[in-house]
Amino acid sequence: MRFTHTGPAPAHRNDWQTIRSLLPFLWQSKLRVLLALGCLIAAKVASVVLPIYLKRIVDALSVPATLLVLPLAALLGYGFARLAGSIFGELRDALFARVTQGAIRSVATKVFQHLLALSLRFHMQRQTGGLSRDIERGTKGIGFLLNFTVFNILPTLLEIGMVTGILLWRYAWPFAVVTLGTIVCYIAFTLLVTEKRMVYRRSMNDLDSKANSKAIDALINYETVKYFGNEGYELDRYDRNLGKWVDSAVRNQVSLNFLNMGQGTIITIGITLLLWLAARGVVHGGMTVGDVVLVSAYLTQLYAPLNFLGFVYREIKHALADMERMFGLLEQDQEVADRPQASALDTTRASVEFEHVDFGYDSRRRILHDVSFTIPAGHTLAVVGASGAGKSTLSRLLFRFYDAQGGTIRVNGVDVRDLTQASLRWHIGIVPQDTVLFNDTIFYNIAYGDTGASRDDVIQAAKSARIHDFVMSLPDQYETQVGERGLKLSGGEKQRVAIARTLLKNPPILIFDEATSALDSRTERAIQEELEQISRDRTTLIIAHRLSTIAHADQILVLEHGRVVERGTHAGLLAAGGRYAQMWRLQQSGGDRPGDGEGQELAAMHE
């Protein structure tokens, strides 16, 4: 199964699914939600009562001057209703603010947690720019949805219901029919046209994410772009995507203009009919001037927000379109998940066993074939072989970035699938060939191995990795910023930071994946001695290309095309005169280049 994150939102999701996904996060603050809804109702009741008091004031002041009496009760009632509407509205906003922000925080945290729990396969195939834009738009969409729904849709619908009831109670049925008919036509027209328009919004989102992904990808690979002089190519690719986005944006705007014209026509017809009915009632003596004022006030109260309702509905639909991509992330299945009864690994000494392990990143191409070996606790096993032989795949399977498709991997005799991922990974320290650092300080990157470690422990780890003297020579020393992905440091310096980080973690299982490939010979020898000392009491898996770095290993495996073709000690394999001895002679004569990496394995992961 391919995980991609640049295509359209999941087609099987609908708006109600998205809303249902949000409700549990809202209900975390149920008391505030209920109090806010109570204030909303109180504010709308006060708002609907206002025109009734206004009618009484106008009628009282419309009588002959000889009968004129100040309508004190009506004036006080009008003032109280207006004040109550304002106060309850502000209380509603204040109460709901924490509900909205709390929901955004909870959703964003859950999405981030889920992304961290997804498999390496998903993260190898995702595009960072598009993913970050989806999350950003989705969290903003929650705020739009809640604010517009609670502060506009619900109050307007409540007000429409109350006003219709008052018109039916006080006046002839045509007033209520015209009011409801106008509202129904308005809403039906808005829904129909907005649904048609949503295809443009989704297209804009998709193109926006693609353009952003390409821009960020080019910036992350800035040096590569410069090496090949492809600035024009990257700019043209970015501009073409923006051109498609502009086309969708223009179609979106034209359809918006059509929607606004239709809404304006419907509202104008409805207002004209209601005023005609009211005026006719006054002429025939069945209604007073105060009744005309009452109907006019209701018209103003209803159709002003109703006119805004079109915009609100569009924004809600846009927010739902933005949210559906973000909630779609939560529907991505975890390829590697803890079993319900998984136990926590807790040990200071660990043995590792691969038993008849088969694995392929793609079902059409197998990487490992029937691989078996054992690393007793405290022993060191080295794996060598040509690029693409499957060496780095062993470390990914042990770390449970993937699960083997055949066979079993055990730690202390327990299937790793029966252990919690967090506890298993805490017991494993890895120094990868391609070291990536956080865009923070050197201290932060080393301390990442154990976030609770003291400064002295961090410095000691740096000394063990032979990087302390280099750090102290820098102007900002341990507070030196390393840049995006550690670009301000050389390959060797980054690797030494990675080694220090792993040493600080102090795990019982160590994996060195070409851990010294980027170092000069002198530094490599110094660190190699340190690594040998550190690994002496730990279970260690070394993935190596330079055979001179693994001569001390208790056992050496030779992989070819995912199969173990030789195994034994350094001396034994040389004496056997097989593939290992051939590789040794080739490297001693300088005919092989170190650090070829695992390019073919990486290609297989992307298939």
**335-339, 385-389, 500-504, 592-596: least confident range:** 592-596
**Amino acid 5: pLDDT:** 39
Sign of the alpha-carbon torsion through 334, 353, 502, 126: negative
What is the CATH architecture of 15-330? Up-down Bundle (1.20)
**Amino acid 523: pLDDT:** 62
Cα–Cα distance, 572 to 198 (Å, whole number): 70
Encode pLDDT of 391-416 as tens digits: 888 888 888 888 888 888 888 888 88
Residue 566 three-state SS = strand
Half-sphere exposure of residue 360, counting CA atoms within 13 Å on the CB side?
9
Q: How many residues does the chain have?
A: 607
Angle subtended by helix axes 154-170 and 289-330, to nearest 10: 150
Cα–Cα distance, 435 to 499 (Å, whole number): 10
Cα distances from 376 to residues 102, 373, 379, 413, 551, in angstroms, run: 50, 10, 5, 11, 18
Maximum separation of any 2 CA atoms in the chain, in Å: 128
350-388 in b/e burial notation, b at 16+ Cβ within 10 A?
Answer: bbbbbbebebbbeeeebbbbebebebebbbbbbbbbbeb
Residue 563 three-state SS = strand
Encode pLDDT of 533-561 as tens digits: 777 788 888 888 778 778 888 888 888 88
Encode pLDDT of 359-377 as tens digits: 888 777 788 888 888 888 8
Confidence of residue 90 (pLDDT cuts 50, 70, 90): confident
Residue 450: CB atoms within 10 Å:
17
CB 409 within 8 A of CB 356: no
The terminus-to-terminus CA distance of the chain in angstroms comes to: 11
Query: What residue type is 202 in one-letter code?
Result: R
Assign 3-class secondary structure to 526-551.
Answer: HHHHHHHHHHCCCEEEEECCCHHHHC
Cα–Cα distance, 241 to 246 (Å, whole number): 9
Q: Is pLDDT above 60 for 327?
A: yes
**Amino acid 288: pLDDT:** 74
Give the closest residue to 201 by CA, choosing from 245, 237, 239: 245
**Amino acid 333: pLDDT:** 65
**Amino acid 470: pLDDT:** 87
Confidence of residue 8 (pLDDT cuts 50, 70, 90): very low
Confidence of residue 595 (pLDDT cuts 50, 70, 90): very low
Which option is the CATH number for 352-427+507-606: 3.30.565.10, 3.40.50.300, 3.90.1150.10, 3.40.1160.10?
Answer: 3.40.50.300
Encode pLDDT of 294-309 as tens digits: 777 777 677 667 666 6
Task: List, in sequence order, every residue forming a beta bridge with 408; answer none if it has no partner.
Answer: 355
Instruction: Give Cβ neighbours of residue 586 (< 8 Å, ≥ 6 apart).
Output: 592
Angle formed at CA 306 by CA 19 and CA 273, multiple of 5 degrees: 145
Q: Is pLDDT above 60 for 347?
A: yes
Cα–Cα distance, 235 to 237 (Å, whole number): 5
Q: Is pLDDT above 80 for 579?
A: yes
Token pair of 81 as six digits: 């209703």
Cα–Cα distance, 102 to 95 (Å, whole number): 12
CB 413 within 8 A of CB 588: no
Q: Is pLDDT above 70 for 334?
A: no
Q: Could you state, in order of their start, the residue ranges of all structural domains in the chain? A: 15-330, 352-427+507-606, 438-500
Instruction: Give Cβ neighbours of residue 341 (< 8 Å, ≥ 6 apart).
Output: 418
Q: Is pLDDT above 50 for 478?
A: yes
Cα–Cα distance, 312 to 318 (Å, whole number): 10
**Amino acid 179: pLDDT:** 77
Confidence of residue 108 (pLDDT cuts 50, 70, 90): confident
Higher-confidence residue of 178 and 599: namely 178
Give the closest residue to 386 by CA, choosing from 153, 214, 592, 212: 592
Cα–Cα distance, 485 to 472 (Å, whole number): 21
Average pLDDT estimate for 451-460: 87
**Amino acid 520: pLDDT:** 63
Confidence of residue 218 (pLDDT cuts 50, 70, 90): confident
Give CA 345 to chain center in angstroms.
30
Higher-confidence residue of 557 and 591: namely 557
Question: Which one-letter DSSP state was computed for residue 378?
Answer: T
Residue 163 three-state SS = helix
Average pLDDT estimate for 275-298: 75
Confidence of residue 4 (pLDDT cuts 50, 70, 90): very low
Give the closest residue to 303 by CA, choosing from 262, 270, 256: 270
Residue 598 three-state SS = coil
Sheet of 539-543: strands edge to edge? 428-431, 509-513, 539-543, 380-385, 555-560, 563-568
Average pLDDT, the chain: 76
Query: What residue type is 443 in one-letter code?
Result: F
**Amino acid 389: pLDDT:** 75
Q: Is pLDDT above 50 for 40?
A: yes
The pTM is what?
0.59
Sign of the alpha-carbon torsion through 120, 354, 599, 570: positive
**Amino acid 14: pLDDT:** 63
Type and span of the H or E element at 188: helix 173-220
Q: Is pLDDT above 70 for 125?
A: no
Q: Is pLDDT above 60 for 597?
A: no
Average pLDDT estimate for 589-607: 44
